[in-house]
């Protein structure tokens, strides 16, 4: 089966905060048509929020197909521009997942390249690297429902929850403590925004959540496996050792064999 995925709206992970008497710094804002929340421990530099926003906006001008002056828009217009190292990295990763998923994930559309299903995850990874380069070893990053964590909240695990897939009020379906060594998690589904993911497939699941070492990989695979559906998606997840949890149309969860191995 060959499918084309143009966009991915990942909203199915809820941040669950825990009480602590220690200082947790909070950063939030709007980006990529959604919102972000970042939590860190300790006392970061005064200009960290400025650095976060600058990096998020920089990435937007690389991968956004909605900005005429972005690098990807110029490439799609066949302008004489040089592909940067990070652009090539994301393109190669997208092409690899497209190949491994049998085309269920496809970074191309009728207008050329479209990284909507992977760029947000890549942005989260870049913010993680930015925080670590600023001596922050404990953080929780969430952009539009996708998550990357590292470390703890002064010894307490960060906690996230997969949202119950429904059109009503957001409520947690199942919650997890994240491992101290860090993890990235992305969810794909159309229950709040129907028909925004393109591609032929059974669509017999409500949401797909993927945990991986980096958010870009989790982002792309969550979209691909959602398109493939319950049977083929689970088969492919097991073949590729992907940690995945599906929520089907009856509200039941189905886990890949690697989900229990991620030690959440």
pLDDT in tens, 187-231: 886 544 434 444 455 456 888 899 999 999 999 999 999 889 889
Overall number of domains in the chain? 1
Non-local (6+) Cβ contacts of 99 within 8 A are none
The parent domain of residue 78 ranges over: 13-261
C-alpha distances out from residue 29 to 48, 124, 171, 185, 238, Å: 13, 14, 22, 20, 37
Instruction: Band the pLDDT of 251: cuts 50, 70, 90.
Output: confident
Look at residue 5 and tell me if it is in a domain: no
Cα atoms in the Cβ-side hemisphere of radius 13 Å centred on 30: 1
CB 104 within 8 A of CB 224: yes
At 177, list the tokens: 């403590």
Do the domain assignments include residue 70? yes
The pLDDT confidence band at residue 232, using thresholds 50, 70 and 90, is very high
**Inter-residue contact 3 to 106 (CB < 8 Å):** yes
Please give the helix or strand (H or E) that residue 59 lies within, else none: helix 48-63
pLDDT band with cut points at 50, 70 and 90 for residue 14: very low
Do the domain assignments include residue 147?
A: yes
Written as six digits, the tokens of 226 are 């959602």
Higher-confidence position of 15 and 147: 147
**Is residue 132 situated within a structural domain?**
yes
In a domain, 7, yes or no: no
Judge whether 1 lies within some domain.
no
CATH of the domain at 39: 3.10.520.10
Q: How many CB atoms lie within 10 A of CB 2?
A: 10
Decide if 35 is inside a domain.
yes
Residues 6 or more apart whose CB falls under 8 angstroms from that of 7 comprise 114, 116, 117, 196, 197, 198
Does residue 115 lie within any of the structural domains?
yes
Say what the pTM is: 0.87
Span 119-165, pLDDT tens digits: 999 999 999 999 999 999 999 999 988 999 999 999 999 998 887 76
Q: Using an 8 Å Cβ cutoff, are 72 and 113 in contact?
A: yes
Average pLDDT over every residue of 54-71 = 97
């Amino acid at each position: 089966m060959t499918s084309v995925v143009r966009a991915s709206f990942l909203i199915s992970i809820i941040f669950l905060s825990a009480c602590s008497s220690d200082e947790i710094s909070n950063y939030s804002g709007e980006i990529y048509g959604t919102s972000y929340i970042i939590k860190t421990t300790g006392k970061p530099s005064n200009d960290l929020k400025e650095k976060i926003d600058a990096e998020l906006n920089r990435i937007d001008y690389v991968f956004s197909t909605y900005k005429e002056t972005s690098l990807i828009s110029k490439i799609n217009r066949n302008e004489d521009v040089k592909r940067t190292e990070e652009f090539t990295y994301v393109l190669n990763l997208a092409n690899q997942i497209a190949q491994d998923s049998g085309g269920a994930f496809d970074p191309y559309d009728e207008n050329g390249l479209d990284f909507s299903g992977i760029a947000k995850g890549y942005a989260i990874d870049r913010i993680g690297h930015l925080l670590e380069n600023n001596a922050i070893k404990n953080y929780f990053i969430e952009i539009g429902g996708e998550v990357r964590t590292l470390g703890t909240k002064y010894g307490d695990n960060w906690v996230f929850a997969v949202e119950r897939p429904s059109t009503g009020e957001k409520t947690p379906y199942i919650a997890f403590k994240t491992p101290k060594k860090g993890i990235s998690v992305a969810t794909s589904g159309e229950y709040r925004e129907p028909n925004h993911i393109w591609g032929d497939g059974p669509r017999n699941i409500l949401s797909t959540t993927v945990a991986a070492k980096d958010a870009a990989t989790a982002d792309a695979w969550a979209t691909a496996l959602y398109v493939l559906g319950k049977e083929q998606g689970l088969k492919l997840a097991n073949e590729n050792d992907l940690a995945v949890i599906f929520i089907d149309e009856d509200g039941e969860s189905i886990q890949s064999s690697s989900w229990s191995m991620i030690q959440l």
